[in-house]
A and B are shown apart, each in its own frame.
Chain A
Amino acid sequence: MMLAAAWLALLLAAPAAATGAAPVEPTAPASDDAPAREPVASPGALAVDAVLPCGLRVLIARDLTLPVVASVLAVETGTEDDPKELPGLVHALAFHLLEGNREWSPGGITRMIHDGGGVTSLAVGAAQVRFEALAPASLLEDLIAAEASRLRAPSVSEALWKDALRWARRDRSRGSNVPPAVRALAFDVEGLAHDGRVVTPELEAQSPRAIEAQLAERFAYDRASLVLITPQRPELVFNLVLAAFSDLPPGPRRSRDRTTPPRTGAVPRELSIKGGGGALVWPIAPDPASQAWASVLCGAVNRLKRAASEPTRVRLRCAIEDEPRRAVMVLRPSGSDDPVALVRQRFERLRTDELELLDKERATVAEQLAHELRTPLSLARHLARNAPVRASEPETPGEAPPMRALAELLATTALQPLVPEGGGTPDPWPPALASLFELGGAVRAVEPAKAAPK
């Protein structure tokens, strides 16, 4: 998290220097372990990033294309935080938060947004839970008020818990091709090894008091971020947010650092597991650069043609399994007697002879990223999932709409050209890419050896 915050500070410093724009009054770092402070929002800011006294992190950016507001309340808790004896707890609690609180009837926030023409969604991941909305801009104040009350004094009763579990049971939409145990090993996080979407009899037996306690512990504003993309000026929206959260007691931010130290080495760790299929799985660090470079590498691997020395049956396919904080890159070799050697050779070719292909893919991914982040909800999700923007760039008349600049900035700054001016090889390689080239950082999931026939 600290690394990400530092990277983001650089991210915004660079264009300000490049364009000769007036330097922005620096705000205190909004890192997770920083003490709560009075936030500062510069007038005319490109984006606002601040931590409120109550510990909530707030990110606001501006989009003028359409009169809509995108809102994401991201809570830094997830299914990997389930207690061992209660798998599925966080998933069920997330659904319970749709059951209302002292200000809203069950489903009331959702209904308010839908009745205004907006749409809502809930995303429960291994390390993050997000309440998302895209609504007409006229609902901005209502939306802020709703998010300011969502986690406060949720209504709890046996009937509501039963209803929440009913919805939780129905949520089977997402599936992964990577066995949970492999993901757990890749991140060295034991909590990833279980199915976080189950509804067990133990969950059903939870008392209202226990549910209340679990909600208070896991779903609190001091471990959440609120991202808003609106047509209004960020500093004005910030004032509305500040007012809506002003009655919460002050306290430090309590978000967990989920960074997994990168592993190095030439040999992947091996895990024998049913359904492994020989895949090599790399953890992707939870920062925009690592995610962007993983996409670049994956795309380049898929485009790389077979070398003349390789047998014709050899194949290597790559895919990214996206997930906030816990994304993985999966390589599936086939037709090779030595799959690890095949991957090693392909990586080596990309670093040397095929560097141009890698750089071309970088440009493509940067373009795709800027294109993808142009819509408010995509950008809000991206900011909520990644370490957020911290400082602000002054807006002057005639400049590009601020959100556009932000989206482009996020895309292009994450992916600087690989080939230095005048040619040659990168020196140094971007750390995010270099760690993905490390075979020691991967877990190889192999099928268990079949028992010898009797």
Chain B
Amino acid sequence: MMRRRAMMLATSAALLSACKRKQRTKVVEVWDDEPVPQLADAIAALAPPWPAPTRGILDNGLVSFWLHEADSPAAHVRLLLSTRGPDGETAEPEIVAIVAETLRFEWQRRLQRHGAAVRSSAGPDRIEISASAHAAALTPMLAQLGSTLAPRSPAGLEGARERLLDDARPPAALETATSATVLQLLGHAGAVVPERLREPSRAKLHEQWQRLVDPAGAVLVAHAGADAESAKPALRKLADPWRGDARREPNRSAVARLQRAMPSQSTGMRLLSAPAAPLHLADGPSGTPTLVLGRTIALPDAKQRALARLAQRVAQEELDASIVIAGECAVWIGAAALSRAQLERDVPREVSQLATFATTRQPRQRLFQAAQLWLGARVVEASSSGEDWTRLFAQAIDLSRSDTEIAGALARDAAAMLETTPEALEAWTRRWLDPRTGEPGWAWSIAGLDEDGRRRVGRIVPLTPA
């Protein structure tokens, strides 16, 4: 399961896993009234009641956040590793997948007798690995994490590569099209190509391992019944064996360490209007043709982030839409399955549908319901997955521009979302989500087409050069 997940690390999975809803929600009645104030207050309070975390920098350069919950019978540890090196260069997705799988496998193996569950996920910009167990396992969890990260040339990398190859499966049309769109938007694909897993040499893997697991670029989040002071010996067991590149000057900010590699410039293109983005025909599996359109969005403040998230929640009721927010940037992705016989009709129709959504005023109650669903589902999911605060804290890092903002980020996000007015949302969607007349910055791709389909699509829209 974990290995399969590691294979899907690609932007496609990362972008689409968050909030995709395939079936359209039936909204029976929608009013344009103000929500009941008490209910709005109650929903705004749907943020974890964590106390201020203890922030520290260990002597190996690792930034740690300690979330203390008195007498908690469980302990959760999460390590976040940026895939960008000090030079700003992002590691190849295949190497990221192999490193993540090595970490997961080795840490899990070492924690076998403590009954800990280790999970990992990796995207183009970040590897996230976490372990949860009973409170008594906290020290072994940290010590074994240190031992897992300590080797300069771990023997497990080759084994991880083999496991990923064993589990490899051809990507679906949706993943292929998403990956191609993200490549146009961000300049790097992020998708793991199974055939490329064999490419990195052993030496390169070891070199990249040292770069990726450097504590000077990592962030640790722990949620436990023990407080940070009493956990110091355990943290020492983590930091002592795990040493990074002593020449690297560690960035003191966790947010800066994990900032995703979003482009500073947009594509400057629109869809089906000038300047028109060419449609990319992605090579990939035959099957249902799938169109993916996406764009980058600038989010300079919490209000803009809330608008983006809310727009995605509301759009999701009509369209297959997802968004990944990272600090001041976001990537919007919309996907649609097309009829092979009706390509000429479906391709422009998908653009029109998004444009119609973007230029429509949404009733106030609809916004409220969308916010309620998003904020409620966030805490419910955290509860059902073991009450792991570190998971929510990692999300909060993405909503923050500095470390001091992280603890209150989810609460601010909730408040900003509930304050949104229909007018503000409409203005925002007109600007960012109208592919024809809004802000440029779009790209699109289609996968799953045969030769005939490619020819027919080429007649109605400009294509990227082969």
Contacts and interface: CB of A to CB of B under 8 A. Distances in A.
B383 interface: yes
Given A368-B134, A375-B383, A136 B73 contact: no
B376 interface: yes
Interface stretch (A35-43, A61-69, A311-319, A338-346): A61-69
A214 B25 CA distance: 34
A310 interface: no
A137 B43 CA distance: 8
A391 B25 CA distance: 44
B375 interface: yes
Contact of B374 (A67, A117, A134, A408): A117
Contacts of B372: 115-117, 136, 138
A395 B32 CA distance: 44
A435 B225 CA distance: 37
B46 A371 contact: no
B103 to A, nearest CB: 24
A150 B112 CA distance: 44
Give the interface SS of chain A, mostly helix, strand, loop or mixed: mixed
B384 A119 contact: yes
Contact of A66 (B25, B133, B379): B379
A374 B383 contact: no
Interface stretch (A272-280, A297-305, A399-407, A413-421): A399-407
A384 interface: no
B343 interface: no
A66 B69 CA distance: 11
B307 to A, nearest CB: 19
A53 interface: no
B39 interface: yes
Contacts of B380: 68, 117-119, 134-136
Interface string B134-156: 11100000000000000000000
A377 B379 CA distance: 13
27 contacts: A66-B383, A66-B387, A67-B45, A67-B46, A67-B49, A67-B379, A68-B383, A116-B373, A116-B376, A117-B372, A117-B374, A117-B379, A118-B376, A134-B383, A136-B372, A137-B46, A137-B379, A138-B39, A138-B372, A370-B134, A374-B387, A375-B386, A376-B383, A377-B384, A401-B70, A401-B71, A408-B73
Contact of B74 (A64, A371, A377): A371
A407 B73 contact: yes
Interface residues on A, range: 20 to 34
**Of residues B115, B135, B383, B387, which shows the largest number of chain A Cβ atoms within 10 Å of its Cβ?**
B383
Given A67-B47, A67-B379, A400-B70, 8 more contacts: A64-B49, A67-B45, A115-B373, A117-B378, A118-B377, A134-B383, A135-B376, A376-B383
Contacts of B115: 368
**Of residues A119, A138, A367, A377, which shows the largest number of chain B Cβ atoms within 10 Å of its Cβ?**
A138
A334 B230 CA distance: 49
Interface in B100-150: 115, 133-136
A400 B376 contact: no
A221 B93 CA distance: 57
**Of residues B74, B369, B376, B389, which shows the largest number of chain A Cβ atoms within 10 Å of its Cβ?**
B376
**Of residues A67, A377, A401, A408, which shows the largest number of chain B Cβ atoms within 10 Å of its Cβ?**
A67
A361 B307 CA distance: 53
B73 A374 contact: yes
A135 B373 CA distance: 10
